[in-house]
Amino acid sequence: MAVNTCLVVDGANVVGSVPDGWWKDRAGAARRLHERLLVADTAYDEIVLVLEGQAKGGVRPGRDAHVTTVHASRDGDREIREQARLAAEAGARVTVVTADRALAANVSPAQVLSPSWLLDRI
């Protein structure tokens, strides 16, 4: 069965949008975001959380329930574009959560929503 809707989350961008001391513990901040996504009641069939850098130490790569965590091998933006492309090719309606304007301009035809939109829902 194909995924109908997919939310691709720019983990660094979402974590970085809240000045709560995340920079002192990037792995812990990524883990907390992952935990919130796991219990979130969203309208998406699948959530893909893309992590990069030190944040990768907070969540192992792979699938947990409806959340798939992907560790970016290079930069997060490249991996986010790739995950959005793969989901679209699988027939999903894709939404990307980021505040990065350059990234947002390069994930078409995916819908782009802000980190605050996601944080308000989880």
In this predicted model, what pLDDT tens digit does every residue of 48-103 receive, in sequence order? Answer: 999 999 999 999 999 998 999 999 998 899 999 999 999 999 999 999 999 999 99
In this predicted structure, what is the pLDDT of residue 59? 96
As a whole number of Å, the CA-based R_g of the chain is 13
Residue 91 DSSP code: T
Domains of the chain in sequence order: 5-121 (3.40.50.1010)
Chain centroid, CA 70 distance in Å:
9
**pTM score of the predicted model:** 0.93
Q: Is the peptide bond before 61 cis (omega within 30 degrees of 0)?
A: no
Q: What is the largest CA-CA distance in the chain?
A: 41
Is the pLDDT reported for residue 6 higher than 60?
Answer: yes
Average pLDDT, the chain: 92
* CB count in 10 Å sphere of residue 43: 9
Buried-state track 21-32, b at ≥16 Cβ within 10 A, e below 16 = ebeeebbbbbbb
